[in-house]
Chain A
């Protein structure tokens, strides 16, 4: 889950389309996962979370899917809006620990 390199992957989508942002997590013992949105110059903002006993959770316009078999997490944003443009990070938290391990992040660009 540690970030390497100097370039964030970028996903460009048309306004109104659905976005899917992916994250591969590192620890099979992690049992809690969170997606964060970070706008430029600001701290991370909570979007949605999921525990390892679930494989899907829905919020308003967002859905998180968890595939423990391949240690993969995805965030789906429906009807993407310009205000959704930001960097999105997944975070994994291991059972019995308070430490968050952040993924590398994906920049979402919404095209008008």
Chain B
């Protein structure tokens, strides 16, 4: 399987600022990565599919201009929350599918917007 890391593990920012979250596949080259959001006491909701070398695919209801995704290489995808607001406070988790399409999840990033 894939070993996945995220950075930072937590971040606190002021309302209106932008925050970048990194997802790295440490031992597997991934042409696809997934970004999930998880609100407290709720389940994981798929936000978007990150595609290396092309545009991300966003799920219905997710604003692509607010959640910018860049899949810069086969081991790195970044999610930038632009002009963050308190309602964007959440736990953001990425996953990397292996060649059998089994997803391996990162440890998550806790975003708190003040």
Answer yes or no: are A and B bound together in one complex: yes
A6, A36, A98, A103: which contacts B101 (Cβ < 8 A)?
A98
Q: Assess whether A43 is in contact with B103, with CB atoms less than 8 Å apart.
A: no
A7 nearest CB neighbor, chain B only: B41
Chain B residues, CB < 8 A from A45: 105
Chain A residues, CB < 8 A from B97: 98
Q: Which of A4-55 contact B (CB under 8 A)?
A: 5-8, 34, 36, 41-46, 49
Q: Assess whether A42 is in contact with B45, with CB atoms less than 8 Å apart.
A: no
For the complex, give the distance between the alpha carbons of A93 and B34 in Å. Answer: 14
Chain A residues, CB < 8 A from B93: 43-44
Check B71 for interface membership: any CB of A closer than 8 A: no
For the complex, give the distance between the alpha carbons of A43 and B40 in Å. Answer: 13
Q: Interface residues of B: mostly helix, strand, loop or mixed?
A: strand
- Among the 9-residue stretches B62-70, B79-87, B106-114, the one with 4 or more Cβ atoms under 8 Å from chain A is B106-114
For the complex, give the distance between the alpha carbons of A2 and B95 in Å. Answer: 18
Check B43 for interface membership: any CB of A closer than 8 A: yes
Count how many chain B residues have C-beta atoms less than 8 Å from C-beta atoms of the other chain: 26
Q: Assess whether B44 is in contact with A6, with CB atoms less than 8 Å apart.
A: no
Q: Assess whether B42 is in contact with A42, with CB atoms less than 8 Å apart.
A: no
Q: Assess whether A42 is in contact with B43, with CB atoms less than 8 Å apart.
A: no
Q: Assess whether B43 is in contact with A89, with CB atoms less than 8 Å apart.
A: yes
For the complex, give the distance between the alpha carbons of A103 and B42 in Å. Answer: 9
Check B32 for interface membership: any CB of A closer than 8 A: yes
CB distance from B27 to the nearest CB of A (A): 16
Q: Assess whether B43 is in contact with A102, with CB atoms less than 8 Å apart.
A: yes
Given contacts A7-B41, A89-B44, 13 further A-B pairs with CB under 8 A are: A1-B43, A2-B45, A6-B42, A34-B102, A41-B108, A42-B107, A42-B108, A43-B4, A43-B93, A45-B105, A98-B49, A104-B43, A105-B42
16 A-B residue pairs with CB within 8 Å: A3-B45, A6-B42, A8-B41, A8-B42, A36-B105, A41-B91, A41-B110, A42-B107, A43-B4, A43-B107, A44-B105, A46-B102, A49-B102, A99-B46, A100-B95, A102-B44
Q: Using CB atoms and an 8 Å cutoff, list the residues of chain B in contact with chain A.
A: 1, 4, 6, 32, 34, 40-46, 49, 91, 93, 95, 97, 101-108, 110
